[in-house]
Structure 1
């Protein structure tokens, strides 16, 4: 009898050891799926500029002799803003004027001689051509003098001046910026991979280092039809409200909102098991999903301490949460960092819940 009891005790101990080693349910950490805002956006950076703005430079290379306006001053269209050294151009104009006068006088004398039959009529035709050419040269020289006066191409405020007397300036230089302080816009660059998703009227969330923590918005107002083939980007202009605190020239980060889901189902990234990237790069391989498209994945849901594999569709992927667009409801418990060997219907032991 004692041997029988000892054998039963040994068998029970062996069974318990086997259960501990092979049959103990795995321990898993879980989190509850929550509801919150899912925001899908395209990132861009740009600079603030007036809607009405003109960059003004010289029409010719010369030394700057006089600056006639200051920053903040309002100018009228055509108003002189600066003068360049035109002494050589004036000398050439004076010479051309003198040649034109001589040609006109020579034409008058030739007409008199032809009228008296003293010279041939061909001389009159030659004199007329010479007079016309001399007058055209003088007229061009007079017009060229205006190139030495920098004029405002539009009415507005002098927003910036980069002109100092004595500098030698050339045509690529920007001496003045003239425009209206309001309204303002943000001119940003959007990568060519994302431009097809941008539409007029989309809201943009803005951030500037000059105003940390301040929420600012804008609206897509214009999309440039042609992109930059070197930078592989398209120019997008975002209109700013009249009361914007942003200043002309500031660098601003923009998130152009593509989709907002205020009651989206969210789970921690550790709960989602994404499918492996395809290794086959052959032409017959399925194309990668376009940006913003829903993707299929799976996760593990725990019900009554039993793990169940759940196929889901995911949307926005953020650093702290992933949107589940289909296949899961808010409040369901999901497994974080699912252990290897987890199978559908397997019992599990639960750890304390963790907030997503």
Structure 2
């Protein structure tokens, strides 16, 4: 009899526990546990990822305009120079000889002009005498025509000599200009950041088919910018003045703040591929003690929004579906007094965490965010038991926590 009493007692306890649950189930009061986040204004900062190189704001790569050997270098790498300062001298002998030759040619032109003027004066005198003799019928018309033609020919020869003088002046001016180009002066004030050429080497000018030898590079190191490559799929969203955060490879722990200063109108083809990218220049605010250099690689986030606050919900709360008509519909689940209700929303900008909503929900609405499996199986009108998600857990989900794991499933 004792074993029977024990079984009876255990059955009674089980009945007491199961009966309320059975009654609640029969009444349709079973509730699904969900997590919610209150819809509120958030700072949304969507961004575009880009990469590129750092460069000084103003850089000038000096090359020679004439062919000559380097005779003297007056600066060293790292020197500060002023605009117009003499930096380097090329061997001028070839161009001095050219000036001497052209000056001699000019003197010959002057002598020729003087000779032609004398010839013209003589021809005009003979023509006047011929007119008198013709009037007296002491010479024939043919002889007079010869005198007139001689005068006209002397006049043309004088004009030719004067044109030769102008040509000699032009060639002489060009020779003097070439000589002046053997003195290399600073086009801007700045710092010598590169000085690859040495005394005795030959400076070669650039042509369409040949890149000339670089003499030196001068840069204004007081300002630096990032020359970024933005994919053609994203360039339409980039605007002048947008904020950017640039991280140089040499200072990965120090993000640099800047603004978009220039957007290229023409694309460039990415090396080794057919992808097109546009150059975007971002002017940076750089502390003096970072020691950044031109040519350093960098990556950047270009922020598309203005950083202002707007009504938003977590990105994982927004469900996107395509209806039978092919129209895309976006909606969220909202806790309405313990009941899940479907709310169609219009969305705006989004970042990795928040998505702006322009209609469909109001500030303070309890928007259901998970778990992800439960979110997919919810039905309109389902009874739910909500729990406000903690901020720490939300940040964990953003960086790949439990919520991201459920979504991956």
Question: Do these two structures clear the TM 0.5 threshold for a shared fold by scoring above it?
Answer: yes
In structure 1, C-alpha distance between the alignment counterparts of 2:320 and 2:382, rounded to whole Å: 21
In structure 2, C-alpha distance between the alignment counterparts of 1:28 and 1:42, rounded to whole Å: 37
In structure 2, C-alpha distance between the alignment counterparts of 1:259 and 1:330, rounded to whole Å: 25
Mapping of residues 1-356 of structure 1, within 5 Å:
30-33=35-38, 37-112=43-118, 121-122=154-155, 123-165=157-199, 166-171=201-206, 172-173=211-212, 174-191=214-231, 194-195=234-235, 197-220=237-260, 222-224=261-263, 227-230=265-268, 235-241=279-285, 243=287, 245=290, 247-249=292-294, 250-252=296-298, 253-262=300-309, 265-267=312-314, 269=316, 271-276=317-322, 297-302=330-335, 306-319=339-352, 321-325=353-357, 326=359, 327=361, 329=364, 332-338=367-373, 342-347=378-383, 355-356=393-394
Q: Provide closer, same or farther for how the CA distance between residues 302 and 98 of structure 1 changes in structure 2, counting only shifts above 3 A.
A: same
**Deviating more after overlay: 296-305 vs 201-210:** 296-305
Q: Provide closer, same or farther for how the CA distance between residues 201 and 246 of structure 1 changes in structure 2, counting only shifts above 3 A.
A: farther
In structure 1, C-alpha distance between the alignment counterparts of 2:160 and 2:242, rounded to whole Å: 69
Matched-pair contact (CA < 8 Å) for 1:265–1:330: no
In structure 2, C-alpha distance between the alignment counterparts of 1:75 and 1:98, rounded to whole Å: 39
Q: TM-score, normalised by structure 1?
A: 0.69
Q: TM-score, normalised by structure 2?
A: 0.61
Q: Provide closer, same or farther for how the CA distance between residues 210 and 263 of structure 1 changes in structure 2, counting only shifts above 3 A.
A: farther
Unaligned ranges ≥5, structure 1: 1-15, 281-285, 287-294
Q: Deviations over 1:135-174 (max 9, x none)?
A: 3323322222223333222333323333333155332444
Q: Deviations over 1:269-291 (max 9, x none)?
A: 2x4321249997xxxxx8xxxxx
In structure 2, C-alpha distance between the alignment counterparts of 1:268 and 1:67, rounded to whole Å: 62
**Deviating more after overlay: 107-116 vs 48-57:** 107-116
In structure 2, C-alpha distance between the alignment counterparts of 1:206 and 1:112, rounded to whole Å: 78
Q: Secondary structure at the match of 1:39?
A: coil
Q: Provide closer, same or farther for how the CA distance between residues 223 and 278 of structure 1 changes in structure 2, counting only shifts above 3 A.
A: farther
Q: CA deviation at 1:344?
A: 1.0
Number of residue pairs aligned between Structure 1 and Structure 2: 321
Question: Match of 2:141?
Answer: none
In structure 2, C-alpha distance between the alignment counterparts of 1:233 and 1:296, rounded to whole Å: 32
Q: Provide closer, same or farther for how the CA distance between residues 74 and 188 of structure 1 changes in structure 2, counting only shifts above 3 A.
A: same
Matched-pair contact (CA < 8 Å) for 2:192–2:217: yes
Unaligned ranges ≥5, structure 2: 1-20, 127-149, 270-275, 395-409
Query: What do you get for the CA RMSD once the two structures are aligned?
Result: 4.3
In structure 1, C-alpha distance between the alignment counterparts of 2:114 and 2:377, rounded to whole Å: 111
Q: Deviations over 1:224-260 (max 9, x none)?
A: 5x60144565554433336464734244424234232
In structure 2, C-alpha distance between the alignment counterparts of 1:149 and 1:95, rounded to whole Å: 21
Q: CA deviation at 1:31?
A: 4.9
